Structure 1
Amino acid sequence: DADFSLIEPDDRFRDVLELDSLDFLSLVELLSERTGVRIDEEDYPELATLSGAVGFLVGRTAGRS
């Protein structure tokens, strides 16, 4: 139900979308499922913003076939 059009590259997802910790975990699980990238708990801080998430995912998928 979140309006992702409101998010700027460096906005924190949890603030803009008013996510609690379970909502954020669901977002992380969805990103992992849709991209096929393993996301460990220590990676969560990198996923706090749109630009951070993109950088993380691109870095993990670069060179994959």
Structure 2
Amino acid sequence: MTKEDLKKLLFQLLKSIAPDAEPEKLRPDENIREALDIDSFDYLSFIVALDEKLGIETPEEDYGKISTLDDLMNYLSVRT
């Protein structure tokens, strides 16, 4: 999966949990939850859906490592 494909998937999944959000306007260093006004339950749902789509498992202790788009892209690029 290319980085562009991965980014499209991330935006698609974010739109599914926050339909009014515009994830494509996220800055790479911006906190995803804060920028899109997503609560912790919805963000967890996003991570679970992402894991299912990519066939990976993100351990709970890694959740703090993936708060921005850059963090998430870097994290996933070594796992997919």
- State TM-score, norm by structure 2: 0.70
**Runs of 5+ unmatched residues, structure 2:** 1-18
Runs of 4+ in 1 over 2 A off after TM superposition: none
**Runs of 5+ unmatched residues, structure 1:** none
Counting aligned pairs with the same residue, the percent is 36
Give the root-mean-square deviation of aligned CA atoms: 1.0
Counterpart of 1:51 in structure 2 is: 70
Counterpart of 1:23 in structure 2 is: 42
Q: Deviations over 1:2-49 (max 9, x none)?
A: 211221111101110101110110111111111111111011012211
Number of aligned residues: 61
Counterpart of 1:39 in structure 2 is: 58
